[in-house]
Amino acid sequence: MSKMAGKFITLEGGDGTGKSTQARLLADFLKQNNIKPLLTREPGGAPGSDEVRELILTGDPDRWDAVGETLLFYASRRNHLRLTVWPALERGEWVISDRFADSTIAYQGYGNQLGVDQVMKVHEVTVGDFEPDLTFILDIDVKAGLSRTQGRDHNEDRFERMEIEFHERMREGFLDIAKQNPERCVVINADQNIDKVQEDMRAILKDRYGFS
Ligand code: TYD
């Protein structure tokens, strides 16, 4: 399962780091380099996964506990991998996913304090040793990130409404993941304008894959 024709690139980080915009711009860059990108996101990105998304992201912050939430994210992730990501990689496409498993480690493992070991038990059953080829971790001060989400007109805000300490723990979680996986992860300063963040990300792709 590990060596597939395409590449799997994930974007991770807290709320309000601008991941979705950056993912779109990255897909444009791949196209310019004659590579077919598949842009997707978690939770979601496959039949079944979108329904689970609705269950997890709406409603009261205490609607699910950390264990229930983790199982739901991984149920959604399993369909995303099985029905969307793995088939695309086998076809030789480059998949860009707005969030993947590092989000569960950071949000549920650190933020909700379930612990990394507990999350990894579910991870092993669901994902095995498959992992992204490259992960960008978009990092920004928690308050600055959350203030960017304020104007958003949506009801999928269950996590944005969690206490500030939750977000601080989650940010630390992402930075720990980056330290523990230096080959796979690159931390990007997200407290810069959109173009500069994208420039930093493209520089990594140029360096790793020889793009122009
Ligand atoms: P989304 O609206 O996609 O937010 P964002 O634009 O910030 O990515 O909602 C995803 C929310 O779900 C976000 O607050 C992070 C959270 N989440 C987890 O807690 N665990 C996970 O495994 C994933 C994938 C997301």
Nearest ligand 1 atom to the CA of 42 is 24
pLDDT in tens, the chain (212 residues): 446 789 999 999 998 899 999 999 999 999 999 999 999 999 999 999 989 999 999 988 889 999 999 999 999 999 999 999 999 999 999 999 999 999 999 999 999 999 999 999 999 999 999 999 999 999 999 999 988 887 776 777 787 777 899 999 999 999 999 999 999 999 999 999 999 999 999 999 999 999 98
Nearest ligand 1 atom to the CA of 160 is 14
State the pLDDT at residue 70: 97
State the pLDDT at residue 1: 45
Mutate to test the pocket of ligand 1, among 76, 103, 112, 177 (most ligand atoms within 8 A of CB): 103
Can you tell me the distance from the alpha carbon of 161 to that of 53, in angstroms, rounded to the nearest whole number? 16
User: What tokens were used for 107?
Assistant: 């949000």
State the pLDDT at residue 3: 60
Nearest ligand 1 atom to the CA of 159 is 14
State the pLDDT at residue 19: 95
Whose alpha carbon is nearest atom 14 of ligand 1? 159
Which domains, and CATH codes, for the chain?
Answer: 8-209 (3.40.50.300)
Q: What are phi and psi of 37, to 5 degrees?
A: -95, 150
Q: Which residues of 102-135 are buried (b: 16+ CB within 10 A; e: fewer)?
A: bbbbbbbbbbbebebeebeebbeebbeeebbbbb
State the pLDDT at residue 153: 64
| Closest C-alpha among 164, 150, 66 to residue 107 | 66
Mutate to test the pocket of ligand 1, among 15, 22, 123 (most ligand atoms within 8 A of CB): 15
- In the structure, which protein residues have their CB atom closer than 6 angstroms to any atom of ligand 1? 15, 19-20, 42-43, 57, 73, 98-99, 103-104, 107-108, 156, 159
State the pLDDT at residue 5: 83
Can you tell me the distance from the alpha carbon of 173 to that of 156, in angstroms, rounded to the nearest whole number? 22
